[in-house]
């Protein structure tokens, strides 16, 4: 049974950093690309970053140079290092697989960036 558990969110000031973690329960992690998504208030969920099995990464333009996605296939955990946070990064962050193949969503982790 697949279960995704996100953690690491919090309330920070602009310019600060957070590291999100997603623990992936289930026998799928080592065979699939993993993704981080965000859902801002009143908006649809959107893809932020993804990482392939062999570590290739992609980012949406708004986070390039600030966020870093990584994975530890032995644990299995996927991380999102978030630097130089901005107020428009405020959202609930979720992990999952590629669009179109989603498993049940976890509870997400709230990130709030405010001065």
Please report the sign of the dihedral spanned by the C-alpha atoms of residue 86, residue 94, residue 69, residue 33.
Answer: negative
DSSP string, 39-79: E-TTS--EEEEEE-TT--EEE-GGGTTTEEEEEETTTTEEE
Q: Which two tokens stand for residue 11?
A: 């309330």
User: How far is residue 91's CA from residue 26's CA, in Å, rounded to a whole number?
Assistant: 26
Alpha-carbon distances of 115 from 14, 62, 86, rounded to whole Å: 6, 20, 10
Q: How confident is the model at residue 1 (pLDDT cuts 50, 70, 90)?
A: confident
pLDDT tens digits, one per residue of 43-56: 999 999 999 999 99
Report pLDDT for 100. Answer: 85
Given a cut of 90, is residue 76 above it in pLDDT? yes
Question: Which of 47, 44, 50 is CA-nearest to residue 71?
Answer: 50
Q: What percent of the chain has pLDDT over 90?
A: 88
Strands 109-113 and 10-12 turn out to be parallel
92 phi and psi, to 5 degrees?
Answer: -95, 130
Given a cut of 90, is residue 95 above it in pLDDT? yes
Average pLDDT of the chain is 96
């Amino acid at each position: 049974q697949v279960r995704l558990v996100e953690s690491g969110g919090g309330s920070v000031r602009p310019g600060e950093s957070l590291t999100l973690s997603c623990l992936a329960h289930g026998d799928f992690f080592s065979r699939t690309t993993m993704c981080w998504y965000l859902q801002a208030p009143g908006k649809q969920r959107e893809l932020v970053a993804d990482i392939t099995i062999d570590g290739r990464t992609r980012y949406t333009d708004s986070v390039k140079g600030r966020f870093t996605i990584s994975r530890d296939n032995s644990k299995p955990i996927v991380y999102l290092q978030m630097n130089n946070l901005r107020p428009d990064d405020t959202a609930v962050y979720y992990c999952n697989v590629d669009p179109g193949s989603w498993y049940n969503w976890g509870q997400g982790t709230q990130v709030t960036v405010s001065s």
